[in-house]
Amino acid sequence: MAGGTMNKPRFLSLLLPALLALAACQSPSAEPPLAGARIGGPFTLTDQDGRRVTDAQFAGRYRLVYFGYTYCPDVCPTDMQTLGRGLSLFEKQAPALAAKVQPIFITVDPARDTPAVLKQWVAAFHPRLIGLTGSEAQIAAVAKEYAVIYQRVETPGSTSYLMNHTRTAVLFGPKGEPLALIPQDETPEAAAAELAKWVK
């Protein structure tokens, strides 16, 4: 729970150890670890420039999706830094493939994460990173589709609060299908290697 995060959804928590155990045995043609998982779905949200964005706009592209919030005191900026640097490394190694990947940050704190706040925040991590926000109902709906759990936690004696939330970065394929978890809690090199494994 430290740093405003909670454990992964139960099904991901159960799957992850098995997936990691199999990773060393995978060949380049192996089935993606999250193949067939029921994660992802349609959404309509607002980006950091105030524009309406739907999932359909990313058809044909890989999507690297992370849920968090800009007021997060530690893990969100650390995770996004790792993912941003990992994508930058991948861009240097395989520019054409990396260009197919759209990084997306979706807030779980729409009350504070307005487009203006997101615009300044996402610019710190990667030039192509899109930040998405919306109404409380819109965020709740997309979080449910993407198997993300979040909860507001009040700070005693203060008007401030933290957001406990699922901490995962998921790579989705060109059709919106879930492919693999990208290790945002490891090194940028590890993130880049995992992207290289699944982006074709």
Q: What is the CATH number of the domain that holds 76?
A: 3.40.30.10
Query: How is residue 173 written in tokens?
Result: 């394929």
Does the residue 86 lie in any domain? yes
Measured distance CA(108)–CA(94) in Å, rounded: 32
Measured distance CA(44)–CA(51) in Å, rounded: 10
72 is in an annotated binding site: yes
The size of the chain, in residues, is: 200
Residue 189, pLDDT > 60, answer: yes
Measured distance CA(27)–CA(135) in Å, rounded: 42
- 17-21, 32-36, 52-56, 160-164: which range is least confident on average? 17-21
Does the residue 25 lie in any domain? no
Overall domain count for the chain: 1
Q: What mean pLDDT do residues 72-100 have? A: 97
Q: Could you report the per-residue pLDDT of 102-160, keeping only the tens digit for each?
A: 999 999 999 999 999 999 999 999 999 999 999 999 999 999 999 999 999 998 888 89
Does the residue 12 lie in any domain? no
Better pLDDT: 45 or 19: 45
Residue 6, pLDDT > 70, answer: no
Contact between 118 and 131 (Cβ < 8 Å): yes
Cα–Cα nearest to 171, from 89, 75, 58: 58
Does the residue 15 lie in any domain? no
Residue 59, pLDDT > 70, answer: yes
Q: What is the sign, positive or negative, of the torsion defined by CA atoms of 52, 54, 58, 64?
A: positive
Does the residue 47 lie in any domain? yes
Better pLDDT: 98 or 24: 98
Does the residue 18 lie in any domain? no
Average pLDDT, the chain: 89
Does the residue 26 lie in any domain? no
> Which residues lie below 8 Å from residue 127, measured CB to CB, with a gap of 6+?
none
Give me the pLDDT at residue 30, please: 87
Domain extent for 182: 41-198
In Å, how far from its chain's centre is CA 151?
17
25 is in an annotated binding site: no
Cα–Cα nearest to 3, from 153, 179, 176, 169: 153
126 is in an annotated binding site: no
Does the residue 4 lie in any domain? no
Residue 35, SS3 per DSSP: coil
